[in-house]
Amino acid sequence: MNDFSIPGSQSTPAIAGNWAEGVLSMQGDSYPENSFELFGPVLNWTQSFLGQAEHPLRLELKLLYLNTSSVKAIMDLFDLLEEAHRGGHQVAVNWYYDRRNERVAQLAAEFKEDFTFAFAIIGEDYE
C-alpha cells in the first residue's frame, strides 16, 4: 500500500516503511530539532499498518544515539506494537548493534523491559 522513506541526516535517522513486506526500518543517530515532526508520520504509518494490514510487522533498528524526545517517540512506537501484539497481531523488533559498542545493547535491553512481543538484540561486526 503506502510506503514511505525519509533520508537520514547527521541528526536524524534514515527511516523507511515497506507495507508489502511489513518492515519498518530506522538507522542512525536521532536528535532532531522537532521529534514530533519526524516521528509523527512514523507513528501514523505504524498505527495504520497495525489497524489495516493482516500480515506481521517487523522493526529493523540500528539506532545509536537518541535524545530524550526520540526515546519517548520510540517508546510510543513500542507501545503501539505491544497493544497490537496483545490483540493478536504478529509483531517483532530486531535491534542491531556494533559488538564494539556494548552500551547500545544495554540501552536496547532497557527499552525491551516490560514488553512482551518478540524483541531481539543482535550484535554484529561492522568494519
Partner 1 sequence: MKTRPPQLDQRIEDLLADPAHAENALHAPLQELWQLHRDHLSRLDRITHLSDSFQSMVRDRELSLTERFDKQLRQLQKIARISDRYQEMLRDINDALKEASTHDALTGLANRRLIMDRLREEADRSSRLGQSFVLAMVDVDYFKRINDTLGHDVGDRVLVAISRSMQAGLREYDLCGRWGGEEFLLLLPQTEMEDAMSVVSRIHEAIRELRFAEDGADLTITASMGVAGHKTGDSYAQTLKRADDALLEAKRQGKDCVLSA
- Which positions lie near partner 1, rule CB under 8 A? 65-68, 71-72, 75, 79, 103, 106-107, 110-111, 113-114
Q: 10: which DSSP letter?
A: S
Amino acid type, 101: N
**Residues ≥6 apart with Cβ < 8 Å to 96:** 60, 61, 62, 122, 123, 124
Q: How far is the CB of 101 from partner 1 (least distance, A)?
A: 9
For residue 123, the one-letter residue type is: G
Which residue number, 9 or 106, has a Cβ lying nearer to partner 1? 106
**Helix (H/G/I), strand (E/B), else coil: 100:** coil
Q: Which amino acid is it at 61? A: L
User: Cell numbers at residue 18, please?
Assistant: 515497506
Nearer CB in complex with partner 1: 34/101 = 101
| Distance in Å, CB of 45 to partner 1, minimum | 21
> Which is closer to partner 1, CB of 19 or CB of 117?
117
- The distance of closest approach from Cβ of residue 103 to partner 1 in the complex, given in angstroms and rounded to an integer, is 5
If we measure between CA atoms, which residue out of 109, 119, 55 comes closest to residue 82? 119
- Least Cβ distance, residue 84 to partner 1 (angstroms): 17
Give whichever of 21 and 114 is closer to partner 1, judged by the CB atom: 114
